Each structure stands twice: as structure tokens, then as C-alpha cells.
Amino acid sequence: MKYLLYIVVFLAFNTAGAQNTANQLIPQPVEIRQNNSAFNLTKAASVAFNNPESLHLAEMLVLRLNTATGFGLKAIQSNKGTIQLNLNQVPDPKLGAEGYVLVSTARGVVITANKNAGLFYGMQTLMQLLPMHIAGKSVVKMKWTIPAVSITDYPRFAWRGLMLDVSRHFFSKQDVMQYIDEMAKWKFNTFHWHLTDDEGWRIEIKSLPKLTEVGAWRVQRYGHFGDREVPKPGEAASEGGFYTQDDIRQVVKYAAERNITIVPEIDVPGHSMAAIASYPELSCKKDTATRVSPGMNFIDWYGNNTFKANVENALNPADENVYVFLDKVFTEVAALFPGQYIHVGGDECYKGYWAENADCQQLMKKLGIRHVEDLQGYFMNRVEAILKSKGKKLIGWDEILDGGISPEATVMSWRGIKGGIEAAKMGHDVVMSPTTFAYLDYVQGDHTVDPSIYAGLRLKKCYSFEPVPEGVDAKYVLGGQGNLWTEQIPTLRYAQYMTFPRAWALAEVYWSPKESKNWDNFIRRVETQFERSDVAGLNYSKAIYDPIVTTSLKSGKLLVTMEAEAPGLEIYYTIDDAMPDNFTAKYSQPVQLPNGPITLRVIAYRAGKPIGHLITLKRDELEKRETK
């Protein structure tokens, strides 16, 4: 009932069209009340803090405010200030470590919290309360008003993450920090950094220099990932890059200042072609001709998670030198990342080369195991022992459940939620990150518009995600995470396009109360954030304006259904090879297509103007979409 009351209050002023910015907040706060007054921010304002450990936050806020307003505001340690950042002397148990209270009146703004993390999140909310020009990078002369509100806010989940894969495409240190900046604005607190894979090793390991001398570089290739030509003998490897340890330290510090913990991933035993190219002796075949993959197709997929790797990309679990290697790697990785977790991958490991290897067969006999798949459990337990010796905890993809892992291991469920349910019922902590709701590399609109890869994931599906499945004890679900694999994502600009607005949906799923979820309300706030993103220069997808076209068969005829995610859209279409506009047929009910080589063209309009992409579908494509 408490949550319902707050939702009613929130929706009341949202639907009333209040002339302020309180109705655009993402993620939605736990509690929010509003009155009709506002605070006018002027150059006479000051940003004050009551505890010296909050100085860097006050300076961060001042910098952001001054960039757009040009006011030249100063940060001062004081109990008086028009914008006040106060740490509670007596902690409020309701707020925890990341919660905050924000109260704005005609006199000013006061943000209070138990910890600096809470103050930081209160600052992010404050920035969203200001007019959208605050997101810009140049001074704007205008009236800067903040609506009078009272907000009490704290997160639902402790783990609110995004993953960026920098192996498939290397992103510079500056790119990574910019991505972290965007994460922080939406109250994400965990950055999962996928640093190694078949296509590149991206972290300097001083005791193993070949990992970056060889493993960080691949031959230059263009075109769709998975269709690229294999490296030729003698061809120079010129594409790639890596982070020095000084780079890593700088990014870790930058993230920590924004209340973001970095979880590094060293993907083993599979996805290790870059490591094997550097040190072939770590593999079963010890093939010195192994090269870093440029995005070639070297795996045959059979469905049901079965596959065959035609090039060896897994470490040899029977070779003690592999564990010496891993000890060196994790010694240096553990020293660079202060967080408690190191991600060890564990996914999609092809074990065919293990089955053919005499040492692996001998190890299986020694261990008393009959199935080669169980060697992964042995490998992961060895890796976990190494991590424990460094004071770190193991987290891996849900395949680490295969063959058995210790109760202390944390499972990241990606193959749907099934692995997470299984792990939680076994007493493991779980991070829910399923392909079905959280894979941000998936196509977010019609796959004839966006470059096709793997599968599709609409914004509305992201927003419908519930990280705690029915029948699972919520205490084992640490939270959730969105994953951005970069096979088809070569630049930061495109990474932004694939991340947003779906990351906004996940931010609300992980932060806001489950009871407050409301799609119609959320989509209105998303459209407001589009405008603010334009000011900020942030790229994002407008796939919500593209009609969703599905088909079914009825009495031998193809029936076409069209719908839209965003509100207020009108859908127009043609089947006569004419270009559609708002004077052609308007969609109102499923359309039965006549026989023949029909091409359906569809576009959405709002307020008499086209919005979104033109979608063109030939008959064979429509037939492929048929649902039984």
C-alpha cells in the first residue's frame, strides 16, 4: 500500500502535465512528492558540504553546473549553502549505503545520505531535475529552475551492472571512461570489463609480455563478424590495442569516484585463442600457427548449446603450466582491481580437443570421472583456489555449474534464467543477466533496419524483466546486468546506440521498486530523455518508433499484424509498391494480404509527421515471420 500511494502521487503530477522536470526521472525514485514552487539557481548560489570526505563530490557537481550555466559556483565546506550535500551523523537505516533524501524548496536544495554513494546518486537526480540544457557542454543563458520536490530513494538491488566487451573491438581508455560516465548518470554501480577473448587480450600482464605483444593484435579485416577471412601466413597483425597497468589504475580510480566498481573478466578456459596465440604451449595441440581471430567463423553450431571448434581456443586443464600461467595473470589482475570479484568466464568451452588429449584422459582416470565435460569443474575449482589466494571471489557464466563449483562461487546467469534459478536453489549468489532480457548487442528494432545479429530484444521486453524468478529466495539474487558484446560494434558512438534506451529500462528494473513499474509512464520519460540526450550529444536508438510487424496464417492467407511500442503513433502502409505516408492506408486491424509477390511498406506517424524508419518487407520475409 505504501508503494501504491507513492505511485499515485507520482502519476498524478506526471499526467497533469506539470511544467517542470520532476516527471522525467530515470530510474523512478522510491518516493516522490511535489508542490507548485521552484528554486531558481543563480550565480549567487553555493554548493556546500558538511564533511571533508565529500569535497570531491561537491567539486564534481560544481563543474557540471558551471559548464552549462557559466555561473562560476564554488564548493565550500559549510552547514549553509543553497545546494547542500550532507552526510548523516546518525545513519538512516532505510537509506543504506546508496540511498539519499533530496528536498528542494524555493530556498534551495538539500541532499542527505549515509554515505558518499548516496550523495552521488542524489546529485544525478538533481541533474535530471534541472532543465535539459544542463546536459550540454556550453554555456546557455536561461532561467535555471529546479521544481520543489521531496524524494526518498534507495536501490532495490546491490548489483546494477553493465558489461562492455573490449576484446572483439578495442575501445580506448577515454572511450571506456565516457561509457562509465553514462553508466553513473543512471545509477549503475558495476562495470563488468570483458578484457580477454579469442579476438584480443587487452590487459598488460608484465610477467607475460607476449599476451599484449602478440595477443592484443590481429590482422585487419572488414565486414560482418563471423564472415571474415582467416589470417594468412606471414600477414601482419596491425589492428587492436591494450591497456597498460597505469591505464587500468586510472580507469579504476575514475570509476570509483563515480561509485562504480569494476569487475574484470579473464575468460577461461574457452575463448582463449588470443592467449594461445601468445603461448601455444598452453593448449592441447600446441599449434604454433595459431593466430588471434579477426572475427572469422571457426565454430560449427548445432543448436541446443552444442558446437564444434575447428580451431583450438581452450586451455589444457591437464597441464600444470596452465595453472602457473593463470597464477601469474590473476596475481597482477588482483593487484589492479580492488573489488572483491574477478570474472573468469567459463562459457562456451569446446572440450573436443580435451577428449583427444592423452594427458586429459589420464587426468580423468586419476580423478575418477567418466565425462570430459567434468574436467571444466576441475579446472574451475583450481582457478577458484588461485583467486582465493589473492583474496578474491570467483564469478562466472552459468556454465561454471557444469562439473560442480564451491558454494562460495557466484553465478552470472546468461542462458536465460534457468541457470540462475538452479544456482540460487543450490545456495549460490546470482547475478541475473539473461539473453532474453539483458543482451544489449541484440537487434532492438526490425532486423531489416538495424544490422542483423543473433536475435532481437525490444525496449519493452527489457523493461518487463523481473530478476527474482518465482520460487527463488530473493536473498540469493544480487541483482542484474546488461551485456554489450561488440562483435558488430566498432565504435563508442555505436555502443551508445545499442546501449540506450535499453539500459534506461534495466536501470529502472534494478533500482526502482517492483511495484512502481509502469510501461506507459516509463515510455513517456524515455522520450523526454531523448531530448536531453540530444543536448548531451549521446547517441541512442529510436526503434520504439518503428512498427512491429508479425504475420500468421489464416484460411491459407497471410495475415499481417502491426503494433508500436511508443504511444500516440499512427501506422500507415502500402502493398502496391507505392511509398507510404499519412494519405495511404492506415492500419487499424490485421491485414489479409492477397496472393502474389507483395512488398509491404510500413511507416509510423505522430502529429502528422513521419517518425522512425521505413520498413520494407517482401513476401518471403513476411512468410518467415509467420507464427503458427
| CA–CA separation, 380 and 406 (whole Å) | 9
Catalytic-role residue among 31, 98, 153, 197: 197
How many residues make up the chain in this entry?
628
| CA–CA separation, 41 and 23 (whole Å) | 19
| CA–CA separation, 288 and 85 (whole Å) | 59
For residues 314 and 349, is the Cβ–Cβ distance under 8 A?
yes
Catalytic-role residue among 169, 192, 271, 428: 271
Catalytic-role residue among 31, 267, 348, 398: 348
| CA–CA separation, 50 and 57 (whole Å) | 12
Which of helix, strand or coil describes residue 237? Answer: coil
371 is catalytic: no
| CA–CA separation, 405 and 393 (whole Å) | 12
348 is catalytic: yes
| CA–CA separation, 379 and 328 (whole Å) | 16
Which of helix, strand or coil describes residue 383? Answer: helix
For residue 624, what are the contacts with CB-CB under 8 A and spacing of at least 6? none
Separation of CA 206 from chain center:
30
271 is catalytic: yes
* Number of helical (H) and strand (E) elements in the chain, helices listed first: 18, 29
Quickly count: other Cβ atoms within 10 Å of residue 11's Cβ.
15
Sign of CA dihedral 323, 327, 330, 334: positive
| CA–CA separation, 392 and 386 (whole Å) | 9
- Cα 43 to Cα 47, 65, 74: the distances in Å are 11, 10, 10
Which of helix, strand or coil describes residue 603? Answer: strand
DSSP class of 587: P
Active site residues: 197, 271, 348
